[in-house]
Amino acid sequence: MAGRPAGLVTRAVELLGWAVTACAGLLALTQAFGIGGLPVLYVLQALTPVLLLPAVPLAVAAAATGRLGLAATNALVATALVVLVAPAVIAVDAPVPPPGTPSLRVAHSNVYYRSREPDAAAATLLGMDADVLAVTEYTPRLAAALAARGAAAAYPHRVEVPSWDASGVALHSRHPIVEVISTSIGTRPGLDVVIDADGTRVHVLVVHPVPATRRRTMQRWAADLAEIGRVALARDLPVLLVGDFNAARWHPEFRRLLRRGFRDAHESLGRGLARSWPLGRRIPPFVRIDHALVSGAVLPVRIADVVVPGSDHVAFVVDVALSPPSVA
């Protein structure tokens, strides 16, 4: 009789292992076939590395106990995990540009429209010493704090669309803004401009599509990501595309955007697993939805994450070379 309870426990553990495996396997299949379109998938796919990780110990444990079917299935899920994560952690270009190569320092921060620390946020933003400062959830309160700290002198060229809700956006530049193409991209405010960085014209976009956490915003979010890609490539210029995309690499819709010819600056520099949200809550950041994407003759050189007081997002500062380094 003693063996019967032990057998039941063993069977229950095996069934639990299969249940976990089935859930992870289904999530891996949505990644393999690029399936999205549901808010629940949007949330689960953002957590793909975490949710697929149990496949590794499950594969080992199942193999060690002779459960070869369970081991093989988890090995497939673990393979999917490796395939999905590898591009985020393997640096593909970390160049050292030769002397005289034009460069640009770009910062982005979603400052959180309900922030109670606009003055401290303004001080941190100006302290980033960026050539181009992009801000999402840009409010009149933050605009006033920046003005009080002399932002106009630091950044004589500006495009601002402040708002009391999360849709505000701004771009402050030390370099001339030679063309303001649009102050909306897709269904949301966004900035589409061309700047002249010491003789090199660069197409700069600041974006903030809606999160796809509800069925009514899911289609808007996916359509806006597609529109962002179209707009960014509409000019035959180097592209800097920054903002809060409300999207992680693990979202198929975001990977479709990358496949249009963009490189993620964090990933290019081997920091693709850096996380940017949510900051300042009871749990640590678990996903990166704030990105700097580049294309053409724009190569990320350095990137650093920055905590901005009052924000629920981690900001970043990225240095880019504006032409490919010479090859010896």
Within a domain: residue 255? yes
Q: Are residues 161 and 261 in the same domain?
A: yes
Q: Are residues 20 and 141 in the same domain?
A: no
Q: Are residues 202 and 301 in the same domain?
A: yes
Q: Are residues 108 and 255 in the same domain?
A: yes
**Domain's final residue, options 89, 115, 149:** 89
Q: Are residues 133 and 207 in the same domain?
A: yes
Within a domain: residue 94? no
Q: Are residues 148 and 187 in the same domain?
A: yes
Q: Are residues 185 and 225 in the same domain?
A: yes
Q: What is the pLDDT along the chain (328 residues), one digit of tens a residue?
A: 555 676 788 888 889 999 999 999 999 999 999 999 899 999 999 999 999 999 999 999 999 999 999 999 999 999 999 999 999 988 765 556 677 788 999 999 999 999 999 999 999 999 999 999 999 999 999 999 999 999 999 999 999 999 999 999 999 999 999 999 999 999 999 999 999 999 999 999 999 999 999 998 999 999 999 999 999 999 999 999 999 999 999 999 999 999 999 999 999 999 999 999 999 877 889 999 999 999 988 999 999 999 999 999 999 999 999 975 444 3
Q: Are residues 20 and 163 in the same domain?
A: no
Q: Are residues 40 and 176 in the same domain?
A: no
* Cβ-based neighbour number of residue 168 at 10 Å: 23
Within a domain: residue 208? yes
CATH, residue 290: 3.60.10.10
Count of domains observed in the chain: 2
Q: Are residues 128 and 242 in the same domain?
A: yes
Task: Determine the pLDDT at residue 94.
Answer: 57
Decide: 62 and 70 in contact? Cβ < 8 Å. Answer: yes
Within a domain: residue 46? yes
Within a domain: residue 328? no
Task: Determine the pLDDT at residue 3.
Answer: 57
Within a domain: residue 234? yes
Q: Are residues 29 and 154 in the same domain?
A: no
What pTM, to 2 d.p., does this model score? 0.93
HEC-encoded secondary structure of the chain: CCHHHHHHHHHHHHHHHHHHHHHHHHHHHHHHCCCCCCHHHHHHHHCHHHHHCCHHHHHHHHHHCCCHHHHHHHHHHHHHHHHHHHHHHCCCCCCCCCCCCCEEEEEEEECCCCCCCHHHHHHHHHHCCCCEEEEECCCHHHHHHHHHCCHHHHCCEEEEECCCCCCCEEEEECCCEEEEEEEEECCEEEEEEEEEECCEEEEEEEECCCCCCCHHHHHHHHHHHHHHHHHHCCCCCCEEEEEECCCCCCCHHHHHHHCCCCEEHHHHCCCCCCCCECCCCCCCCCECCEEEEEECCCEEEEEEEEECCCCCCEEEEEEEECCCCCCC
Q: Are residues 166 and 267 in the same domain?
A: yes
Decide the pairing of beta strands 103-110 and 132-136: parallel
Within a domain: residue 97? no
**Domain's final residue, options 89, 122, 143:** 89
**Domain's final residue, options 55, 89, 123:** 89
Structure tokens given for 137: 């959830």
CA atoms within 13 A on the CB side of 319: 12
Task: Determine the pLDDT at residue 289.
Answer: 98
Which residues constitute the domain of residue 151? 103-321
